[in-house]
Amino acid sequence: GESVGLHLPTLSVQEGDNSIINCAYSNSASDYFIWYKQESGKGPQFIIDIRSNMDKRQGQRVTVLLNKTVKHLSLQIAATQPGDSAVYFCAEPGSARQLTFGSGTQLTVLP
């Protein structure tokens, strides 16, 4: 069936470095994606979204890139900070905005 999934389950980066978290999707008709951050013991928190008519979207310290040719999107975090340590999910809303989540990437920021 259709799915949204992630390449790597864990990622460790040095504080101050940039982080790149990847996500693959299989539905060519997908037109909207969202990145969520989930800290330990908390619910998912919206980070940034992107529609399929865009290749790139920037927020505060975060950038999402969408490559529709290879059905891949990535989340880039600039100057990663300790507070960025969390699990990051890409997600795709359905027709009623119910979300299909990927399996997540655990980002650990090293001092």
Partner 1 sequence: NAGVMQNPRHLVRRRGQEARLRCSPMKGHSHVYWYRQLPEEGLKFMVYLQKENIIDESGMPKERFSAEFPKEGPSILRIQQVVRGDSAAYFCASSPDRETEAFFGQGTRLTVV
Interface residues with partner 1 (CB under 8 A) are 34, 41-46, 49, 89, 94, 96-104
Smallest separation, CB 67 to partner 1 (Å): 21
Q: Which is nearer to partner 1, 10 or 14 (CB)?
A: 10
Q: Which is nearer to partner 1, 17 or 51 (CB)?
A: 51
The span from the first CA to the last CA of the chain, in angstroms, equals 41
Q: Which is nearer to partner 1, 42 or 70 (CB)?
A: 42
Whole-Å CA distances, 45 to 16, 17, 83, 96: 22, 22, 13, 19
